[in-house]
Amino acid sequence: MVKIADLKKSFGKNEVLKGISYDIKEGKITTILGPNGSGKTTLIKSVLGLVIPDSGKIIINENEIKNKFDYRKQIGYMPQIARFPENLKVKELFSMIKNLRNQQANEDYYIELFELQEFIKRPLRYLSGGTRQKVNAACAMMFDAPILVFDEPTVGLDPLTLVNFKKHIRAELKKNKTIILTTHIISLVEELADEIVFLLEGKIFFKGSVQQLKSQEQENNLENAIANILIRKKNK
């Protein structure tokens, strides 16, 4: 579904991506991990078309995305912090996004899933951080896109909403969707990730399953396995 080939990107003298190659599998949750500055955000934004790589290719559904825009309709994106027009009501935001994408949407389902009924006529500026995150999630998922990209999606979600969110992610997998997740919540990685891509200084340090990473680092705990990697890197 998503193929990344020898992707490179620099900002001035700062080389952020140093030849990333990876096939993100359809019907799987791929979690992109790494410390701050490792290149995670630049990689995600390259897939979304928000950053233009210096070289390399990104191929989605057998088509290279360079200089193309329509492919974005195949992606639902939930940023860590969504910047909404503060004067709009929630229902007006949904209408605006539907008009921009010119696609059918199932917002009613997500309004119910995330319990947004009582907020639908409220201006966004009056919503709490957690409620805004629910709106953010609904905007990302209501178009039934085959590719879903979640950047720290659980920030601000209450426990019940988090449970519903994870249930829905599993339901989306049954539709054979491609899901890309970035998070610092290790328990979420252990619970959901089929594949891990661990970036360090713009390169892929590890790719494989949670269990494979634990085995490589001879740890039963994923958090300790990741800590081992970072400690070794720091001591070099």
Report pLDDT digits (tens) over 31-90.
999 988 899 999 999 999 999 999 999 999 899 998 888 899 999 999 988 888 899 999
Residue (of 19, 92, 86, 25) closest to 57 by Cα position:
19
For position 80, what pLDDT does the model report? Answer: 85
CB 15 within 8 A of CB 39: no
For position 156, what pLDDT does the model report? Answer: 82
Residue 233 has pLDDT above 80, yes or no: no
Q: Which helix (H) or strand (E) holds 197?
A: strand 195-200
Alpha-carbon distance of 190 to 172, in angstroms, equals 18
Q: Which CATH number goes with the domain that contains 97? A: 3.40.50.300
Residue 55 region by backbone torsions, left for phi larger than 0, else alpha for psi between -120 and 50, else beta: beta
Residue (of 96, 98, 90, 93) closest to 115 by Cα position:
90
Residue 155 has pLDDT above 90, yes or no: no
Q: Which of 126-130, 155-159, 211-215 has the lowest mean pLDDT?
A: 155-159
pLDDT > 90 fraction of the chain, expressed in percent and rounded: 75
Which residue range is the domain that position 75 belongs to?
Answer: 2-235
CB 73 within 8 A of CB 145: yes
- Quick count: other Cβ atoms within 10 Å of Cβ 210? 19
Residue 185 has pLDDT above 80, yes or no: yes
For position 116, what pLDDT does the model report? Answer: 95
Residue type, 153: P
Residue (of 19, 2, 24, 21) closest to 202 by Cα position:
19
Domain count, the chain: 1
For position 231, what pLDDT does the model report? Answer: 87
Alpha-carbon distance of 26 to 28, in angstroms, equals 6
- Mean residue pLDDT across the chain: 92
**Model's pTM, two decimal places?**
0.92
Q: Mean pLDDT, to the nearest integer, of 209-214?
A: 94
Residue type, 26: E
For position 58, what pLDDT does the model report? Answer: 96
For position 104, what pLDDT does the model report? Answer: 87
Q: Mean pLDDT, to the nearest integer, of 144-154?
A: 92
3-state SS, residue 82: coil
CA angle 62, 150, 88 (to 5 degrees): 110
Residue 119 has pLDDT above 90, yes or no: yes
Report pLDDT digits (tens) over 122-143.
999 999 988 999 999 999 999 9
For position 213, what pLDDT does the model report? Answer: 94
Report pLDDT digits (tens) over 73-107.
999 999 988 888 899 999 999 999 999 999 889 99
Residue with tokens 């009056």: 126
Residue with tokens 């995150």: 133
Q: Mean pLDDT, to the nearest integer, of 153-168?
A: 88
CA dihedral 38, 65, 19, 212 (to 10 degrees): 70
- Give the full edge-to-edge strand order of the sheet including 178-182: 75-78, 147-151, 178-182, 29-33, 195-200, 203-208
